[in-house]
Amino acid sequence: MRSIAREVNEDNVMSIFGVGIRPSIRLTWISVLAVIIFTTIVQAGNAHAQRPELAATPPMGWNTWYAFGCHVTETDVKNAVDALASNGMKASGYEYVNLDDCWQGKRDKEGHIHSNDRFPDMKALGKYIHSRGLKFGIYSSPGPETCGGFTGSYGYEKEDAETYAGWGVDFLKYDWCSAGKVYKPNQVDLAYEKMHQAILETGRPIVYSLCEYGMDAPWLWGPKIGANLWRTTDDVSNRIDFQEYARMMFVAFGQDGLQGYAGPGHWNDPDFLQIGNRGLDLDEDKTQMSMWSLLAAPLFSSTDITKLTEAQLAILTNREVIAVDQDPKGIQGRRISQIGPVQVWVKPISRGRTAVGLFNSGESPLPASVNFHEIGYSHPVHVRDLWAKKDLGVFKNGYSTTVPKHGVVLIEIQ
């Protein structure tokens, strides 16, 4: 659209409407053209303006999937809303309440999707979420069926986007699932673009979250089709073998190399936080929270938050760690060293500071260190431990520590 506006310069107008056209007709055509140009510029401006303010920092919130799977009910969502609003999570930045798969019922004759019995009134649910100062997210698929076998949006993208907008939806996770049955392998971006257009046509700002498991390198084309975030990997938990730590580290360490593709309005998404779910201890919880924050990843808790322990909640709501994730520069961190099971990751953050994570995926405590010269500091620096919430003092050349088994030491230096 923007290119159309750019191409219609004065010379083009004259050559199109010049010789052989009566002045009155010329005037009418010029008026029509003026309207078209104006509308095009306004629309292009809107499309352009909509994105940076949506997901300017990695989106944060809660998602039903790992908490309730396909048994999720309206009551579960409302309970989560109440918990978020009162347990410090909302105050720490968790904002979206996202209903994942399995809410769908049938389509009516006009093609409008309805929710199933477990969700008696979606509009009212949206209102409930908004009334607590939170935002409402929903889930569908570009295919005929979702991964859980519920009705997808294929062929009804426009109707569905309108329905979501009418329910007050603020976020859409769009999950590939069965779409391979109806689209060719080279049509993945096209399938996602369809829904993007449908969303734009509603006029409602809706964060657009792609989920195609990183199969077709969505970081390359996601921004072009209006995506605000895209999953880079398969699910972080399969909830079958409960090898949660190993799986999580596999996903996390695999993010190195993608840092060039993240930034304000468009983020790499390595899937949900597992804190509170079966399979991770507190050191492992801190590891996920630290790693996701260094990666500038979307922070979505996906557990039954009404059952979080104080210690788990403290990890999810550590504001100094969240500030690393939410830093306005939006730079995704990268690995700077790996020695056996010890890895060091860094993320530049505002005001000349750097967050440094020292990770130990070994089976016993191990020493780890970071050399400040290697990350661009030639002067002594102040070091703060973000989990201990303690200033550690001024250090000259580097910082060395011992990292617990499966744990992390997360520091901020300046």
Question: Which are the catalytic amino acids?
Answer: 175, 235
Residues 229 and 96 sit within 8 Å (Cβ to Cβ): no
Binding mask 159-198 for ligand GLA (x = CB under 6 A): ----------------x-----------------------
Q: Choose between 50 and 301: whose C-beta lies nearer to ligand GLA.
A: 301
Q: In angstroms, give the least distance from the CB of 325 to ligand GLA.
A: 20
Only one of the segments 107-115, 117-125, 142-150, 276-284 lies at the binding site for ligand GLA (rule: CB under 6 A); that segment is 142-150
Whole-angstrom distance, CA of residue 119 vs CA of residue 143: 22
Token couple for 156: 């009804």
Element (H, E) at 108: none
Which CA distances in Å does 359 have to 200, 292, 365? 42, 13, 10
Q: In angstroms, give the least distance from the CB of 289 to ligand GLA.
A: 19
Q: In angstroms, give the least distance from the CB of 148 to ligand GLA.
A: 4
> Taking Cα atoms as reference points, which of 269, 201, 261, 186 lies closest to residue 235?
269
Residue of the chain from 235, 256, 281, 385 that contacts ligand GLA (CB under 6 A): 235
Residues 195-234 that bind ligand GLA (CB under 6 A): 211
Token couple for 23: 């002045």
Q: Choose between 74 and 212: whose C-beta lies nearer to ligand GLA.
A: 212
Token couple for 371: 């050399």
Only one of the segments 78-86, 141-149, 281-289, 322-330 lies at the binding site for ligand GLA (rule: CB under 6 A); that segment is 141-149
Whole-angstrom distance, CA of residue 299 vs CA of residue 60: 5
Q: Does 101 bind ligand GLA (CB under 6 A)?
A: yes
- Side-chain half-sphere exposure of 285, counting CA atoms within 13 A: 23
Q: In angstroms, give the least distance from the CB of 65 to ligand GLA.
A: 5
Residue of the chain from 88, 105, 144, 148 that contacts ligand GLA (CB under 6 A): 148
For 297-350, the DSSP string reads --EEE-S-GGG--HHHHHHHT-HHHHHHHT-TT-PPPEEEEEETTEEEEEEEET
> Taking Cα atoms as reference points, which of 291, 399, 316, 408 lies closest to residue 361?
408
Q: In angstroms, give the least distance from the CB of 259 to ligand GLA.
A: 23
Q: In angstroms, give the least distance from the CB of 100 to ligand GLA.
A: 5
Q: Does 412 bind ligand GLA (CB under 6 A)?
A: no
Binding mask 65-84 for ligand GLA (x = CB under 6 A): x-------------------
Q: Does 99 bind ligand GLA (CB under 6 A)?
A: no
Only one of the segments 140-148, 181-189, 192-200, 281-289 lies at the binding site for ligand GLA (rule: CB under 6 A); that segment is 140-148
Question: What φ, ψ does residue 214 adopt, rounded to 5°?
Answer: 75, 10
Whole-angstrom distance, CA of residue 235 vs CA of residue 213: 7
Report the interface residues with ligand GLA, using CB under 6 A.
Answer: 65, 100-101, 146-148, 175, 211, 235
